[in-house]
A = this chain, B = another copy of it.
Amino acid sequence: MPNASNGDRNPTSGANGRSQRVRIRDVARAAGAAQSTVSNAINGTGNVDPHTRDRILEVAAELGYVPNRNARSLRTDRAGMLGIVLSTRSEAGEVANVSYNLRLAGGASRAAFRRQNALTLLPPVRTPEEAAHLVPDGVILADIELDDPARAAFDVIGVPIVTIESDPGNPHESYWVGADTPTNTRTGLDHLMATGAKTIAYMGTDSTGTWSAQSATAYRAWCEERGVEPIAITVPRTQTVGECAEVLRELLEREPRPDAIFALTEKIAVTVVQQLGDLNLSVPRDIRVLSGSDGDRAAQALPSISAIDLHPEEVGAAAVALLAELIEGLDTERPRIIRATLNARESTTGRVTR
């Protein structure tokens, strides 16, 4: 009984268990029209007189008619369902870049919902067989890496794909949404320089994804333009605090000692800031730190960490939009680039902004 409100108007509770919502034929009967006309009126298809269309819509609204998705799906061969794979690689299921991914998924979910689509969270799919049972109309692959098994799996069963950032294994594929990483990296580096940095080091990950690769490349290019030697180091994905500390110590022994660090991920940035505090180095006075991705952790660190906000919600929404257009067969603008913004915080400016 706590599952309350089983009143008369409850749309489910058929004796046979089938949901007893209003069907199109009920609307047709009530409006004195044919099913096909009701269908056309609702979907805006075919030729229906504006007057009758309005009448039908009114009746439909009054009756609370909601089309049965399953019937519609069968007829139109569309599931009304998009998939998103947040992480292909992690076996244990932990998803890296937690904050980014959750915001990405949230943005995509809302965008899909607005389009009357469901966004389903797919576990790491590796084979076509796995993918064949749950066939979405299209799929978004986040965090795609070189030779991604998920891409292959969905390609084989013919499911349209949009990736977050370009697929490093298919550089000519244009159906992706992402950031202008080279520009963003430069923006970050410029910001560090503008706050007084002379020697900027780069700490990235060993990911084979495009974001990571392009960031590192942009960093080197930026250094080359200025005739300075790049100082780029890589932190293994499975970094522990200890490893990171070691890498950092090495970095600080260089001559001249870097006075700024561009940390690709929030996780690296937070660890770096912690370690620097431990080594009695002042942030930002001695060393400035900037994170290549923003989120809770960067914002909440002490000192708070300046970061590039990649606007993952917008990326997710754009991915859904592009995917929908790909499914429709529309030939729209692509790739879609979401402009990032720089959130300057204490780790570079030395005071709380805002």
Contacts and interface: CB of A to CB of B under 8 A. Distances in A.
A94 interface: yes
Interface in A266-281: 267, 270-271, 274-275, 277-278
Interface in A78-121: 79-81, 83-84, 86, 93-95, 98-99, 101-103, 105-110, 113, 116-121
A296 B275 contact: no
Contacts of A156: 5, 10
A313 interface: yes
A116 B304 CA distance: 44
Contacts of A66: 132-133
Given A73-B73, A120-B120, A241-B304, 11 more contacts: A2-B173, A10-B156, A11-B158, A19-B77, A93-B106, A93-B110, A94-B106, A95-B106, A118-B118, A118-B134, A267-B296
27 contacts: A3-B155, A5-B155, A11-B158, A12-B157, A13-B158, A69-B133, A69-B135, A70-B73, A70-B74, A70-B79, A71-B74, A73-B74, A81-B81, A81-B120, A93-B107, A94-B103, A94-B106, A98-B296, A102-B102, A106-B123, A116-B133, A117-B134, A120-B121, A241-B300, A241-B302, A270-B300, A277-B302
Interface of A: 2-5, 10-13, 17-19, 66, 68-71, 73-74, 77, 79-81, 83-84, 86, 93-95, 98-99, 101-103, 105-110, 113, 116-123, 132-136, 155-158, 160-161, 170, 172-173, 175, 241, 267, 270-271, 274-275, 277-278, 296-297, 300-302, 304, 313
